[in-house]
Amino acid sequence: MAVEFSASKTQLTLGCGFDLIAKVINLKTGLPLGDFWVQFWWVDSTNATAAMSDGERKTNGDGVATKQVVYPSSGEAYAYYAKPLYTGAQHMASNPLQLRVGSNTTLLLDVSRQEDSNTHTFTCRLVKDDRNGLDGRLLRLKLNETEYEAKWTNSSGYSSWTINLSPQENNNLTIYNAIVSFGGDTNKTAIAYLTTPNGTQYAVCTTIQYDSYTPSSNSTSIFIIPQTTTGGTSLKSLEQMQKEAQANGGLQVWAEFSWWYPWFRLRYAGLYGGQTVIDVGITLWGDDNGNMPDTWLKRKLDEWTLKVGSNILIGIFATETAIWLASHLGPIYFGITLFAYNLYKFITLYANWNSLENLWISLVSTFSSLAVSAWAGLCSFLPEELRALASGAASVKNAVFGFLCKLIMIPINICLLMLTWGRIVELGGV
């Protein structure tokens, strides 16, 4: 059998709590062993070792035993391990556990260049978790294989280097890889060793405990592009100038419109050597493929489109149904259908009476219905029906009921608009 050792977290602070985890495995079957007793141990930075108090644990059905630990504040570093209570078990050399004790730091790096110059300034700031600067710490800068003089941070955590970076290797493009680092405060180390079945000793747990703050680093790359100056003048034809412009490259920008999402896109195309090397589009929302991100705006647009569209479709269906019933079953059914539809609209308004968002949706839907009724009844339906009646292609009955339906819906929609707008004003929506 073997014991795999791990911890619930590896970044610790003095006095923090965490779990030590031992998983017991049957080496013959590869399956976990339940109801198996293990003992948890500690080793400090002076190499003193002892079994932990109340450190005996029995594995569960998954072969896992857990021991809750509070990291000591004695000043010494502590490493941990677990092994079976009896001596016949073997230990499997798995990935070593590494614990780091101390307060986290973050190293910020900014690079700036003086205009028309190769002089670059590397500005670094070492900050704590609360984003305040950490003073009196030594920072180191390395550019490619060159290490520069280490510098101390000031009271705000800043330190900087000013360096001239010129193109190298026959004045070609040069890349400088910059790494700035903080090595952490002074530290102590504790290592717990175990032995594999073949007698090889390995570090099962290594703990580095810093006096205060842990190491951090940051990196960036700087591209130095050579600049050349050519003297003299020459007269060139328009064809020559166009060919040179294509060879040197250029950027074209234009706007594109569409009837569907994203409706508008600003297109950027970069040319070099007569070939397109970049072609991107920028939209108001979403990406260049028209995929709108799942944001509050998208969800609201979808919701409003669905509700307003469904209200308009319901209105068209109700009015067309009323006209059909009038021509086939008589005016009573025509009146019942219109009455039921308008009752539905007033009930919907009442249900949304205290919801500002739903009132706005009702306002847009009612306005759209009003516009559709006015256009269909006065500008489209009436002239077409008059022409049809004159030619004998339509019945007077259908024309009368159709016109009455449009004529009735216009004042009702105006009434609903006035009620909805008044309520929106009362709720402070405008």
More confident residue, 194 or 197: 194
Calpha distance 18→338 (Å, rounded): 71
Query: Strand order of the sheet with strand 2-7?
Result: 2-7, 17-25, 64-70
232 contacts 207 by C-beta, under 8 angstroms: no
pLDDT at 321 over 60: yes
pLDDT at 272 over 60: no
Calpha distance 226→167 (Å, rounded): 6
Calpha distance 87→202 (Å, rounded): 18
Matching residue, tokens 């929506």: 429
Q: Quick one: what percent of the chain has pLDDT higher than 70?
A: 71
Calpha distance 67→225 (Å, rounded): 58
pLDDT tens per residue across span 18-45: 999 998 888 788 888 888 888 999 999 9
Task: Name the band, by pLDDT with cuts 50, 70 and 90, for residue 279.
Answer: low
Mean pLDDT score of the chain: 78
The encoded tokens of residue 224 equal 């130095």
Cα dihedral 84, 87, 92, 96 sign: positive
pLDDT at 230 over 50: no
Highest-scoring range by mean pLDDT, 171-180, 220-229, 279-288: 171-180
Cα of first residue to Cα of last residue in the chain, in angstroms, is 74
More confident residue, 268 or 101: 101
Highest-scoring range by mean pLDDT, 62-66, 83-87, 253-257, 298-302: 62-66
The domain made up of 103-187+215-224 is a member of CATH 2.102.10.10 = no
Instruction: For CATH 2.60.40.1930, list the domain ranges present in the chain.
Output: 2-99+192-208, 103-187+215-224
pLDDT at 326 over 60: yes
pLDDT tens per residue across span 380-416: 555 555 555 555 544 555 566 666 666 777 788 788 8
Q: Is the peptide bond before 262 cis (omega within 30 degrees of 0)?
A: yes
More confident residue, 334 or 60: 60
pLDDT at 154 over 70: yes
The domain made up of 2-99+192-208 is a member of CATH 2.60.120.260 = no
pLDDT tens per residue across span 342-386: 888 888 888 888 888 888 888 888 787 777 766 665 555 555 555
Matching residue, tokens 């990196």: 219
